[in-house]
């Protein structure tokens, strides 16, 4: 996955370079490959190191590191601990995806954006703390983190909150991530939530029942995909949009409200 992501990134940079003047050179500094952003700071696009415990530098060749590109550290399976510098403002799509042994990563105050699936498949990760500075968060950054059981958000965060370790985006009323390490058999989504985000519950192995609120309007794509223990879930009349593969579960019975008939979903459900 990492090589494919890096090749796609480099192809994008090359195509951009051909279309624009001046071009965007690619630089190397030790184990790091980076580009220079328009604001004169550095974005890490690849790392070729072999360390298990990594402290990412605040500067490369004297340039402040402000961004981790998509897939930059993807599939670095030996990594167990990562410390990001206080200068980092953005973590890209799948930036640390597939780091299966990653147990700890410290996210700095000042981080503004976390991309889709940024930590997908980090199976050893059990807890994560999000700083108050995060303003944007993509589709479930913690997809397939099989042992994640604790998500915390700084109390003064304006955009995010965590309730019993379930992550929500205040900005759009979205449930972002239900940690797969939670072993509850039943979960009630809080009233006020308007959207179950894409892949928010995907691959959960413990839940047997989920109760949805009357405020819910959208169930994102693959929201409950692979939740093969899930047996029953109500469908409020307020829901107007259900994404592709949202309820692709082995044994789910969907119970519409307002007197509708129950439907058993399997395979490509919803």
Residue of 175, 170, 109, 111 whose CA lies nearest to 142: 175
Q: Which residues, 6 or more positions from 53, have their beta carbon under 8 angstroms from its beta carbon? A: 80, 81
Whole-angstrom distance, CA of residue 239 vs CA of residue 242: 8
Residue of 191, 266, 175 whose CA lies nearest to 227: 266
Looking at the predicted structure, is the pLDDT value of residue 16 above 80?
A: no
Instruction: Verify cis geometry, omega within 30 degrees of 0, for the bond prior to 22.
Output: yes
Confidence of residue 257 (pLDDT cuts 50, 70, 90): confident
Residue of 220, 222, 259 whose CA lies nearest to 241: 220
Give the tens place of pLDDT for each residue, 223-248. Answer: 999 999 999 999 999 999 999 999 99
pLDDT at site 9: 53
Looking at the predicted structure, is the pLDDT value of residue 46 above 60?
A: yes
Measured between alpha carbons, how far is residue 246 from residues 123, 198, 228, 252 in Å? 23, 8, 13, 12
pLDDT at site 81: 98
- Protein fold of 1-177: 3.80.10
Cβ atoms within 10 Å of 100's Cβ, excluding its own: 17
Give the tens place of pLDDT for each residue, 86-143. Answer: 999 999 999 999 999 999 999 999 999 999 999 999 999 999 999 999 999 999 999 9
With pLDDT > 70 as the criterion, what percentage of the chain qualifies?
A: 87
198-209 average pLDDT score: 98
The helix or strand, by DSSP H or E, that contains position 4, with its residue range, turns out to be helix 2-19
Report helix, strand and coil shares of the chain as percent, to nearest 5: 5, 30, 65
Asked if 112 and 88 touch (Cβ cutoff 8 Å), the reply is no
pLDDT at site 4: 53
Write the DSSP symbol of residue 108: P
**pTM of the full predicted structure?**
0.88
Ramachandran class of 121: left when φ > 0, alpha when ψ lies in -120 to 50, beta otherwise: left
With pLDDT > 90 as the criterion, what percentage of the chain qualifies?
A: 84
Confidence of residue 23 (pLDDT cuts 50, 70, 90): low
Asked if 80 and 51 touch (Cβ cutoff 8 Å), the reply is no
């Amino acid at each position: 996955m990492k090589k494919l992501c890096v090749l796609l990134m480099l192809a994008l940079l090359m195509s951009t370079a051909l279309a624009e003047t001046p071009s965007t050179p690619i630089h190397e500094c030790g184990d790091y490959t980076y580009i220079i952003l328009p604001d004169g700071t550095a974005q890490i696009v690849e790392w070729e190191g072999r360390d298990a415990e990594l402290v990412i530098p605040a500067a490369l060749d004297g340039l402040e590191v402000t961004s981790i590109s998509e897939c930059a550290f993807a599939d670095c399976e030996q990594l167990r601990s990562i410390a990001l510098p206080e200068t980092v403002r953005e973590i890209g799509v799948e930036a640390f995806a597939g780091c299966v042994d990653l147990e700890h990563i410290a996210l700095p105050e000042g981080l503004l954006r976390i991309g889709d699936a940024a930590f997908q498949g980090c199976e050893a990760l059990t807890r994560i703390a999000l700083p108050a500075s995060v303003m944007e968060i993509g589709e479930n950054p913690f997809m397939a983190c099989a042992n994640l059981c604790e998500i915390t958000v700084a109390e003064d965060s304006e955009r995010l909150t965590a309730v019993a370790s379930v992550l929500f985006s205040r900005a759009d009323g979205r449930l972002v991530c239900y940690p797969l390490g939670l072993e509850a058999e039943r979960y009630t989504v809080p009233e006020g939530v308007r959207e179950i985000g894409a892949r928010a519950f995907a691959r959960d192995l413990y839940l047997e029942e989920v109760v949805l609120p009357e405020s819910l309007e959208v169930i994102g794509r693959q929201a409950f995909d692979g939740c093969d223990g899930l047996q029953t879930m109500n469908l409020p009349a307020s829901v107007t949009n259900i994404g592709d593969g949202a309820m692709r579960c082995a044994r789910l019975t969907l119970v519409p409200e307002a007197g509708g008939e129950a439907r058993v979903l399997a395979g490509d459900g919803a």
